């Protein structure tokens, strides 16, 4: 790569940026990197505090895990026009670099067998200790000095939480990928999603949350007074609903159960950011889910027993087909199956404990500082705090701080308004060369690729009613198209039986699953949170559908065949 002509060629081949999304690179070296919008975790605009407090902890945690495995590669996030972009920094290609990279992947593979045990016996108890540390600190009564020290201690604990996250997620993704590959090698004629049938029917925290919500819906269904309270649609719907519930014994019992649900799952918000309120703070989304569930009739959340029966049926077939293979092959398959089944659970459990629970605690700290700043006249509104950086937050928490905050907050809020409705380019900078891509290719990289997914290119079909993607959760479904761009929009507009069409979903969309018939996305892979939980719900889902949000029309009925990866627009009358 020392030939100047190669560098010049890379610069010329830079990805053009839309005129509405100007990018000012800090250096040519930065422009020469390949930047991917962090849609898997941060698909929406984020604030300066989101980025400097939270996203940079994710970056540093991933790099600590990379160092643990002695990988030569490191990740880097950059905030561009309020969106988080990610790149991988790696040394120049050389045989010894490739060998070191493969050795790191081999270490991850060695860890697959013990990941579940390490999570149960070490990592989860440590995460729970961190949560207890945050929960027991007196945010309101602490002195300014103690609060600043608490923020500094929190930085280290947050960093450790994200190191654990990546020490776990690397073997989790690799186990799921290697199992899927071996299943395909042994059973090449099996449907594409057949391997995942063997991973169904195990409880995890995200599915558990939807089951608890479904139980609340069934409880409400049996009491007319609860249904009437939930049907209130006044301007103060949440307060009015809660007041109405407290007027009857059944309503009070339901309210108590609802509070227990929120104590367990109310730390969730509509995005993995610090600036969005959690359900515990603003439970409106929960009431929307309850109303939608009542409208839907019978719950669509698949029972664990039914899913386990599907798994066992497929496993019986697999064992019969494996009988003619060498014992070593069978033993390897059983080992990978066990690793993948554990990985399926951990994929969602870690999301609950780290992505949701930890993030909520960090938000509480930010809000505590914000209230002091408002009281001290340093900022005007509590929510303004999220337009500070972490360094500014730490300095502002000290009563003696001379920082003038309002002007910088105002400028950053103006930038947020400018890009609020902008669709960020999925990639920026300079694409890697084929040689660079080949150097980075390995099993773990392919596993991460299955999490991010891709787009199925147009096939030249003359049938304009047929669209193709790749199935991520098997089954067939039929329903009217509902195109949404944000989770807030989806929560308000989706009605039972809709086919949800959107660009990409994250784990924060999962509570919507019980009310939809099918899911179509443009991005998101087989190992994404959305795909994993769709399979646990028995929800037919197709991803990688190029132009889905612009080519499909709102209200038109479609039929999904997720196993074939096909979507057919139905003629008038076929949807009846």
Question: Quick one: pLDDT at residue 300?
Answer: 57
Identify the pLDDT of residue 384. Answer: 98
Main-chain dihedrals φ then ψ at residue 564, nearest 5 degrees = -90, -10
- Out of 154-163, 169-178, 213-222, 565-574, which region has the weakest mean confidence (pLDDT)? 565-574
C-alpha to C-alpha distance for 487 and 508, rounded to whole angstroms: 8
pLDDT in tens, 98-135: 999 999 999 999 999 999 999 999 999 999 999 999 99
How distant is the alpha carbon of residue 281 from its chain centre?
A: 21
Q: For residue 377, what pLDDT is reported?
A: 92
* pLDDT per residue as tens digits for the range 535-553: 888 899 999 898 888 889 9
Q: What does the pLDDT read at residue 139? A: 97
Provide the CA 291 distance to its chain's centre, in angstroms: 25
Tell me if residue 345 falls in helix, strand or coil: helix
Which of 83-97, 330-344, 543-557 is least confident?
Answer: 543-557
Local structure of residue 556 (DSSP, 8 states): -
* Residue 436, burial from CB neighbour count under 10 angstroms (0-12, 13-18, 19+): middle
Burial class of residue 535, CB neighbours in 10 A (0-12, 13-18, 19+): buried
Average of per-residue pLDDT across 442-447: 95
376 pLDDT more than 50: yes
Distance of CA 524 to the CA centre of its chain: 10
Strands (E), 417-456: 427-429
Residue 459 confidence (pLDDT): 55
Least confident piece of the model among 152-156, 222-226, 301-305, 522-526: 301-305
**DSSP letter, residue 514:** G
Q: Tokens 């990592």 appear where? A: 123
Residues 141-150, mean pLDDT to the nearest whole number: 96
Give percent above pLDDT 70 in the chain.
Answer: 93
What average pLDDT does this structure show over 550-558? 92
373 with 361: CB under 8 angstroms? no
Least confident of 78-82, 398-402, 548-552: 398-402
pLDDT digits (tens, 9 = 90+) for 5-44: 333 334 436 899 999 999 999 999 999 999 999 877 888 8
DSSP state string for 223-238: -HHHHHHHT--STTHH
Q: What are phi and psi of 395, to 5 degrees?
A: -70, -40
How far apart are the C-alpha atoms of 488 and 282, rounded to whole Å?
A: 13
- What does each C-alpha distance from 144 to 149, 158, 306, 374, 396 come to in angstroms? 9, 21, 55, 14, 10
> What is the pLDDT, as a whole number, of residue 458?
58
Report the pLDDT value the prediction gives residue 454, as an integer from 0 to 100.
67
The pLDDT assigned to 496 comes to: 86
What are the Cα distances from residue 275, in Å, to 45, 381, 488, 550? 10, 13, 15, 30
Cα–Cα distance, 133 to 150 (Å, whole number)? 10
Are the C-beta atoms of residues 519 and 542 closer than 8 Å to each other? Answer: yes
Task: Report pLDDT for 510.
Answer: 81
Of the candidates 530, 22, 5, 39, the residue with the CA atom closest to the CA atom of residue 272: 39
Write the CA distances from 482 to 90, 234, 422, integer angstroms.
Answer: 42, 25, 21
DSSP-derived 3-state class of residue 528: coil
- pLDDT tens for residues 241-290? 888 899 999 999 999 999 999 999 999 988 889 999 999 999 988 988 88
Q: Average pLDDT of the chain?
A: 90
């Amino acid at each position: 790569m020392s030939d100047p002509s190669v560098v010049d060629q890379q610069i010329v081949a830079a990805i053009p940026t839309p005129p509405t999304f100007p990018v000012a690179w800090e250096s040519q070296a930065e422009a020469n990197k390949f930047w991917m919008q962090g849609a898997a975790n941060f698909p929406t605009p984020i604030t300066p505090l989101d980025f400097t407090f939270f996203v940079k902890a994710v970056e540093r945690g991933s790099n600590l895990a990379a160092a643990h495995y002695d990988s030569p590669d490191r990740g880097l996030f950059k905030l561009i026009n309020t969106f988080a972009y990610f790149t991988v920094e790696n040394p120049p290609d050389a045989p010894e670099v490739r060998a070191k990279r493969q050795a790191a992947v081999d270490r991850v593979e060695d860890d697959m067998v013990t990941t579940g045990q390490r999570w149960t016996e070490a990592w989860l108890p440590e995460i729970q200790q961190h949560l207890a540390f945050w929960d027991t600190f007196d945010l309101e009564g602490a002195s300014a000095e103690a609060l600043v020290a608490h923020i500094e201690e929190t930085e280290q604990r947050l960093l450790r939480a994200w190191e654990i996250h990546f020490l776990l997620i690397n073997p989790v993704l690799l186990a799921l990928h290697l199992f899927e590959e071996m299943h395909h090698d042994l059973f090449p004629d099996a449907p594409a999603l057949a391997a995942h049938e063997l991973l169904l029917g195990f409880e995890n925290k995200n599915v558990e949350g939807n089951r608890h919500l479904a139980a609340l819906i069934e409880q409400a269904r049996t009491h007319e007074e609860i249904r009437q309270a939930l049907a209130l649609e006044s301007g103060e719907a949440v307060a009015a609903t809660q007041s109405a519930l407290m007027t009857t014994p059944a309503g009070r019992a339901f309210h108590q159960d609802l509070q227990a649900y929120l104590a367990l799952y109310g730390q969730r918000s509509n995005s993995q950011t610090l600036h969005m309120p959690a359900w515990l703070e603003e439970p409106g989304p929960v009431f929307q889910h309850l109303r939608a569930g009542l409208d839907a009739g019978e719950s669509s959340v698949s029972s664990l027993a039914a899913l386990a029966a599907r798994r066992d049926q497929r496993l019986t077939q697999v064992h019969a087909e494996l009988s003619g293979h060498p014992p070593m092959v069978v033993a390897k398959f059983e080992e990978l199956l066990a690793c993948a089944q554990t990985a399926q659970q951990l994929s969602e459990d870690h999301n609950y404990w780290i992505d949701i629970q930890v993030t909520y605690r960090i938000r509480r700290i930010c809000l505590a500082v914000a209230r002091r700043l408002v009281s001290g006249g340093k900022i005007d509104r509590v929510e303004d705090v999220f337009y500070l950086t972490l360094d500014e937050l730490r300095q502002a928490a000290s009563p003696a701080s001379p920082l003038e905050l309002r002007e910088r907050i105002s400028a950053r809020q103006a930038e947020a308004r400018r890009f609020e409705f902008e669709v960020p380019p999925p990639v920026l900078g300079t694409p890697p060369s084929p040689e660079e891509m080949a150097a980075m290719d390995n099993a773990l990289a392919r596993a991460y690729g299955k999490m991010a997914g891709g787009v199925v290119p147009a096939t030249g079909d003359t049938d304009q009613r047929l669209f193709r993607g790749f199935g991520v959760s098997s089954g067939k479904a039929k329903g009217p198209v509902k195109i949404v761009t944000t989770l807030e929009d989806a929560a308000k507009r989706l009605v039972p039986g809709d086919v949800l069409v959107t660009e990409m979903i994250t784990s924060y969309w999962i509570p919507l699953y019980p009310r939809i018939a099918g899911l179509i996305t443009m991005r998101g892979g087989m190992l994404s949170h959305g795909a994993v939980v769709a399979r646990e719900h028995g929800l037919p889902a197709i991803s990688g559908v190029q132009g889905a949000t612009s080519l499909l029309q709102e209200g038109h009925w479609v039929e999904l065949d997720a196993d074939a990866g096909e979507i057919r627009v139905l003629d008038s009358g076929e949807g009846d």
